[in-house]
Homo-oligomer: A and B are copies of this chain.
Amino acid sequence: MPREFELIDWIAAQQAAGGLVRLAAGDDLAVLDWPGGELLLLGVDQVLDGVHFDSSQHTPLQIGRKVMNRNLSDCAAMACLPAAAVATVALPRGTPMDYARDLYSGMKEAADAFACAIVGGDTAAWDGKLVMTVSILGRSGGIAPVLRKGARPGDLLCVTGALGGSLLGRHMDFVPRIELARTLAATGKVAAMIDISDGLSRDLSHICKAAGVGAIVDAARLPIHGDAVKLSQRDGVTPLDHALHDGEDHELLLAWRADAPPPPPAVPIGWFTAERGMWLDLAGQRRPLDPRGWEHSF
């Protein structure tokens, strides 16, 4: 039977102090130096077998990458730089050590791409299915965090890529839009931002609620991903509905405050309104757009 501390030793050997990290994993808490005056951001996300991934289909490298990338995508949504992360894993009894290491390696590969240090964690074994969590610490790095509540009537509603059908595979292998987020935010024209994790309609409703505004989505402008078309052929749901309601695209949805549209790949797909509520504009006809997308029911 693989043993916890064997795994922890192995993980500790993958780590090093440096940069902000004064002391990496191996003590009760990691220690980080913090440059004076910077804002610090903190968040967490989890992935559960059978909900966010399927351990019978996805590799441990993919699963590890996904839980880290979900958190990195939250950094993108705030336009902050990831600085450090801690992780937990609840391993099903009987998990081979190589599998556990691959989970970590997947996280590390995703974190390394953005110079984010994994500085600690907690490992346990149980009779249940695989659960992983990552908590991420971000830093403002010279760009004010972009909040959801900043949207105002008249702002352009924009998205950074084609949506829908992520279930065909992209939900496991997306690239967090951190660099794009910071490039856009550095212009000072991004009034509000979120990453699309629960689905466009649901995540747009989060922005609208936070800002006390409404929004209109122009169906003709919505970039629909090829996967949404493919999935439509399987399940009969229209590609448009897939693009509007599917979760885990992890593109950015943002309020752009300028007369000229944002630079590509961001494209305008509608605008924010003073009247609360959400509408879909279908060739000039407006119909209510209800938040669907992903919500956990328990």
Give residues in A with beta carbon < 8 Å to B.
1-5, 22-23, 26-46, 48-52, 74-75, 77-78, 80, 84, 86-88, 90-95, 100, 119-129, 131, 133, 135-138, 145, 147-149, 194-195, 210, 295-298
Checking B32, B45, B295 against A40 with a beta-carbon cut-off of 8 angstroms, the contacting residue is B32
Taking a contact as CB atoms closer than 8 A, the residue among B39, B127, B128 that contacts A33 in the complex is B39
Residues of B within 8 A of A93 (CB): 297-298
This chain's copy number in the assembly: 2
16 contacts between A and B (CB under 8 A): A1-B298, A22-B39, A27-B148, A28-B194, A31-B39, A31-B40, A31-B78, A42-B137, A44-B87, A44-B121, A44-B122, A46-B133, A48-B128, A92-B298, A124-B296, A133-B133
Q: In the A-B complex, list the 7 residue pairs whose CB atoms are closest, starting with the nearest.
A: A36-B36, A125-B298, A135-B135, A29-B43, A4-B296, A29-B41, A28-B77
| Closest CB in chain B relative to A192 CB, distance in Å | 10
User: Which one of B84, B90, B147 contacts A131 once the chains associate, using CB atoms below 8 Å?
Assistant: B90
**Within the assembled complex, what's the spacing in Å between the Cα atoms of A74 and B48?**
26
Q: Contact: B122 with A45, CB < 8 Å?
A: yes
Given A48-B128, A91-B298, A135-B135, A28 and B43 contact (CB-CB distance below 8 Å)? yes
A42 to B32, Cβ gap below 8 A?
yes
Q: A2 contacts which chain B residues (CB < 8 A)?
A: 297-298
Task: Tell which of B35, B122, B138, B149 touches A29, judged by Cβ atoms closer than 8 Å.
Answer: B138
**Of B29, B136, B148, the contact of A136 (CB 8 Å cutoff):** B29
A1 and B297 form a contact (CB under 8 A):
yes
CA distance A43 to B29 in the complex (A): 5
User: What residues on B are CB-neighbors of A27 within 8 Å?
Assistant: 78, 147-149, 210
Contact A34 B38 (CB under 8 A): yes
Closest Cβ–Cβ distance, residue A163 to chain B (whole Å): 18
Residues in B with CB closer than 8 Å to A195 are: 28
Bound Cα distance A48, B283 (Å): 52
Question: Are A36 and B37 interface neighbours, CB within 8 A?
Answer: yes
- The interface residues of chain B lying within 8 Å CB-to-CB of A44 are 86-88, 120-122, 133, 135
**Across the interface, do A4 and B46 meet the contact criterion of CB distance under 8 Å?**
no
Residue of A51, A149, A210 most packed against chain B (CB within 10 A) = A51
Tell me if A4 and B95 are in contact (CB < 8 A): no
Cα–Cα, bound, A233→B88 (Å): 36
Question: In the bound complex, do residue B128 and residue A128 qualify as a contact, i.e. CB atoms below 8 Å apart?
Answer: yes
Complex CA gap A22/B127 in Å reads 40
Contacts of A147 in B (CB 8 A): 23, 27
Instruction: Judge whether B4 and A51 touch: CB under 8 Å.
Output: no
Q: Do A48 and B137 contact each other (CB < 8 Å), given the known contacts A31-B40, A86-B42?
A: no
- The listed residue (B48, B78, B297) touching A90 by CB distance below 8 A is B48
Closest residue to A43 on the B side, CB-wise?
B29
